[in-house]
Amino acid sequence: MSNDSISAKNATADAAGVAADASPTGEPRSEAAVSPDASLLTSGSEGGIGGFFRRIVKVQSFQILLVLLAIFVVFSALAPDTFPTWSNMRLVIQNVSILAVLGIGMTYVIITSGIDLSIGSVLVFSGVIAAKVMQGMGGDGWGTAIVGILVSIVCGVLWGIFNGLLIAKAKVPPLIVTLGTLSGALGLAQVITGGVDIREVPAVLASNIGYGNIPGTTIPTISVIALVLLLILGVVLHKTKFGLYTYAVGSNEESARRVGVKVDRHLIFVYALSGLMAGMAGILSLAQYSTTAIAGQSTTSLAVIAAVVIGGTSLFGGVGTIFGTIVGLFIPAILQNGFVITGVQPFWQQVAIGAVLIVAVYIDQRRRAAASRATKTGKRSLAHLFRR
Amino acid sequence: MSSTTPILEARGLTRSFGAVRALDGADFDVHAGEVVALIGDNGAGKSTMVKALSGNLALDSGTILFNGAEVDLSSPSVASHMGIETVFQDLALAPHLTPPQNMYLGREIPAPGFLGKLGFLDNKTMRARSKVAFDELGATVRSYSSPVGSMSGGQRQAIAIARAVVWAKGVVFLDEPTAALGVVQTKAVLETIRKVRDKGVGVVFISHSMPHVIEVSDRVQVLRLGRRVATFQAKDTSVEELVGAMTGALDAGAKS
Ligand SMILES: Nc1ncnc2c1ncn2[C@@H]1O[C@H](COP(=O)(O)OP(=O)(O)O)[C@@H](O)[C@H]1O
Ligand SMILES: [Mg+2]
């Protein structure tokens, strides 16, 4: 009700005939003083190449791309024979692919001002169920593999819907819901396997998708799969109604609701999408490593969240790009690879990523605080992740 | 017909928030092609009334009639379908979306053909049409590709008003639309209200500025403690009389 009291105060002043152009929103007074009605009278320009560059330079995903290029240049200079080679870059790209698939769903979720901590565990759970089913069916052919792929995807989607229902309908905060499913999905995977990894994976899956290349090239199949998903879901996010509603829900849930956007249903779809990507990643991981790697995904969710945020997607919601997420994934990957090649302890990568992450969130918070001073509608802190 | 049957009428609306009776048997009516000012002290229940009549709030009791027929305004989209639009006191734009995106949110124009079926949007048309709508209202929007959150309070208000009046075919509610505006912008809003009324839309205007109320409205209805206590013809009333009715200093002898 603070909105009410603020504008009511102004309205009273208005009624008394005083300061009709007072600025009740707390905007910088100077702006109003210089030209109280600039907004209705001036028609500034926004076009032009110069304007385009000025705008793009302010975009975080572009800034972070410059950081990535700088890192690349430095390592290329330090290890010109080994670092900037296709075989090395191919390795980096291959390692990033599964995280990229997860990053797609996470980008959507974070744009709605939510969070999904569960993807690492859902990945494991989906992989375990798929491995169990394929083990039960036996056989090394595509028939078994395709069933496994579908099972993994369905498991992921079901976890996602479960998350979405609790968040949208039961109004449990996303951080808590997905913390619960992070634990629950992993626990169930361990119960089902007795904690012992399954290492039987159909040969077609491992050799064609897991570590295979697109026939006739040296391009990893798994990376092409990730790229196709990135392109499709990037277009959906940036060009379609579904994408627009994702931004609208994250920007101002109430306003979306008032114009008839089915906010609850949309949130369920978005968490289902995140689950779908985790299920996808589950089967890809199984194919790549030929093991369910139950204990190997404990930091996956956090790594993906960090990448999404570094790529300029705002934890406050309403802002973000798939492109930024890709760049945000390559920074840790390149750092790790570069440190190994130049003989620095690769543990430094984790330190560097922590620093980049904090800087990224700091910048985001600053920008957000500035914007919400102007709009009043903004969420000022990340506390929204704890409530619905 | 417009002079006899109100386009929108409320009878005996009641709504409590805990111990607070925000609406306590409130009546209200507005005709097509008429500006009705809804006035009352802070907390009188004006915003609550607007929310109830725009499908944004469930009532404890009371009936709502649209063109004389009882309706159930259970959701904002039901109200939208009847041509009822609202500019809320708390604005309710999505700050990260552009003006055209806000204008068309929930009513996007799909791209032609198969792409539209896939969910692609016709951004060009939406942008062009919102430009026309903004121009018509004299609201020159500085940028059609920047998020509205980066714009001034007055500009956001102009966008919110433009969005409401573009879609309003029956009734438009404006809850304190001029509270954040300067002199020139306020004039533009009052001008818009007249234009919209002349199109045959019923306009409900909430304001604390009595001179504006008298200037722009045809009738004035006064809410006090969740109840309509008086109705005045704007041309026959005065600021003193309205303030008296709002505060209860004048006894609630309803004139009509
Ligand atoms: N969502 C709500 N929760 C609790 N109390 C509310 C809510 N909305 C309105 N009220 C209360 O109802 C009364 C009427 O409020 P409102 O309709 O906003 O008045 P007005 O717009 O005339 O100033 C006030 O006492 C207000 O505090
Ligand atoms: Mg109010």
SS (H, E, C) chain A: CHHHHHHHHHHHHHHCCCCCCCCCCCCCHHHHHHCCCHHHHCCCCCCCHHHHHHHHHCCHHHHHHHHHHHHHHHHHHHCCCCCCCHHHHHHHHHHHHHHHHHHHHHHHHHHCCCCCCCHHHHHHHHHHHHHHHHHHHCCCCHHHHHHHHHHHHHHHHHHHHHHHHHHHCCCCCHHHHHHHHHHHHHHHHHHHHCCCCCCCCCHHHHHHHHCCECCCCCCEHHHHHHHHHHHHHHHHHHHEHHHHHHHHHHHCHHHHHHCCCCHHHHHHHHHHHHHHHHHHHHHHHHHHHCCCCHHHHCCHHHHHHHHHHHCCCCCCCCCCCHHHHHHHHHHHHHHHHHHHHHCCCCHHHHHHHHHHHHHHHHHHHHHHHHHHHHHCCCCCCHHHHHCC
The pLDDT of residue B67? 94
| A interface test, pick of B96, B134, B175, B192 with most A CB neighbours within 10 Å | B96
Distance CA A268, CA A278 (A): 15
For chain B, how many helices (H) and strands (E)? 9, 10
Please indicate whether, in this complex, the C-beta atoms of B95 and A371 are within 8 angstroms of each other: yes
The pLDDT of residue A51? 60
Q: Where in chain B is the domain with CATH 3.40.50.300?
A: 1-83+168-256
- The closest of A102, A128, A97 to A210, measured between CA atoms, is A97
Please indicate whether, in this complex, the C-beta atoms of A23 and B180 are within 8 angstroms of each other: yes
Give the residue, out of B13, B16, B17, B90, with the most ligand 1 atoms within 8 A of its beta carbon, to mutate for a pocket test: B17
Q: Does B92 touch chain A (CB under 8 A)?
A: yes
Give the residue, out of B16, B47, B60, with the most ligand 1 atoms within 8 A of its beta carbon, to mutate for a pocket test: B47
Distance CA A149, CA A103 (A): 19
Q: How many CB atoms within 10 Å of residue A5?
A: 9
Please indicate whether, in this complex, the C-beta atoms of A43 and B89 are within 8 angstroms of each other: no
| Residue range B6-13: mean pLDDT, rounded | 96
Residue linked to tokens 């990033």:
A96
Distance CA B78, CA B56 (A): 10
Per-residue pLDDT in tens (0 to 9) along chain A, 388 residues: 333 333 333 333 333 333 333 333 333 333 332 222 233 322 333 445 666 666 666 677 788 899 999 999 999 999 999 999 999 999 999 999 999 999 999 999 999 999 999 999 999 999 999 999 999 998 888 999 999 999 999 999 999 999 999 999 999 999 999 999 999 999 999 999 999 999 989 999 999 998 899 999 999 999 999 999 999 999 999 999 999 999 999 999 989 988 889 999 999 999 999 999 999 999 999 999 999 999 999 889 999 999 999 999 999 999 999 999 999 999 999 999 999 999 988 888 888 888 888 888 887 787 777 665 544 444 556 777 777 6
Q: How many CB atoms within 10 Å of residue B20?
A: 12
| A interface test, pick of B107, B118, B122, B142 with most A CB neighbours within 10 Å | B142
Is residue B110 exposed (0-12), middle (13-18) or buried (19+ Cβ within 10 Å)?
middle
B256 has pLDDT over 80: no
Please give the span between the terminal C-alpha atoms of chain B, in angstroms, as a whole number: 19
The pLDDT of residue A386? 73
Residue of higher predicted confidence among B255 and A224: A224
Name the pairing type of β-strands B219-224 and B202-206. unpaired
Please indicate whether, in this complex, the C-beta atoms of A375 and B152 are within 8 angstroms of each other: no
Q: A10 is written with which tokens?
A: 């102004």
Distance CA A276, CA A232 (A): 14
Write the single-letter amino acid at A313. T
- The closest of A229, A266, A226 to A244, measured between CA atoms, is A266
Distance CA B121, CA B210 (A): 44
Name the pairing type of β-strands B61-66 and B227-233. unpaired
B228 lines ligand 1 (CB under 6 A): no
Q: Does B208 touch chain A (CB under 8 A)?
A: yes
Architecture of domain B1-83+168-256: 3-Layer(aba) Sandwich (3.40)
Residue boundaries of the structural domains of chain A:
65-387
The pLDDT of residue A116? 98
Cβ proximity of A151 and A130 under 8 Å: yes
B32 has pLDDT over 80: yes
The shortest CB-CB distance from A378 to any of B95, B118, B211 is to B95
What is A65-387's CATH number? 1.10.3470
Non-local CB neighbours of B45 within 8 Å, separated by 6+ positions: B22, B23, B24, B26, B223, B225, B226, B227
Q: Residue B158 — φ and ψ, nearest 5°?
A: -60, -40
The pLDDT of residue A56? 61
Q: B209 is written with which tokens?
A: 């500025």
Cβ proximity of B218 and B193 under 8 Å: no
- The closest of B141, B155, B3, B139 to B68, measured between CA atoms, is B3
Q: Which residues of chain B lie closer than 8 angstroms to A241, CB-CB? A: 108, 110, 119-121
- The closest of B21, B31, B38, B36 to B65, measured between CA atoms, is B31
The pLDDT of residue A47? 47
Q: Does B98 touch chain A (CB under 8 A)?
A: no
Q: B202 is written with which tokens?
A: 């019923």
The pLDDT of residue A220? 96
Q: How many CB atoms within 10 Å of residue B83?
A: 16
Q: What is the ipTM of this complex?
A: 0.84
CA angle A316, A318, A322 (to 5 degrees): 105
Q: A322 is written with which tokens?
A: 């798939």
Distance CA B174, CA B201 (A): 13
CA separation, residue A331 to residues A84, A298, B90 (Å): 15, 20, 41
Please indicate whether, in this complex, the C-beta atoms of A11 and B179 are within 8 angstroms of each other: yes
Determine the distance separating the centroid of ligand 2 and the alpha carbon of B38, expressed in angstroms.
11
Cβ proximity of B121 and A240 under 8 Å: yes
Q: Which residues of chain B lie closer than 8 angstroms to A46, CB-CB? A: 142-146
Cβ proximity of A163 and A177 under 8 Å: yes
Q: How many CB atoms within 10 Å of residue A260?
A: 18
The pLDDT of residue B108? 95
Distance CA A330, CA A68 (A): 7
Distance CA A306, CA A317 (A): 15
Name the pairing type of β-strands B35-39 and B202-206. parallel
B45 lines ligand 1 (CB under 6 A): yes
Is residue B112 exposed (0-12), middle (13-18) or buried (19+ Cβ within 10 Å)?
exposed
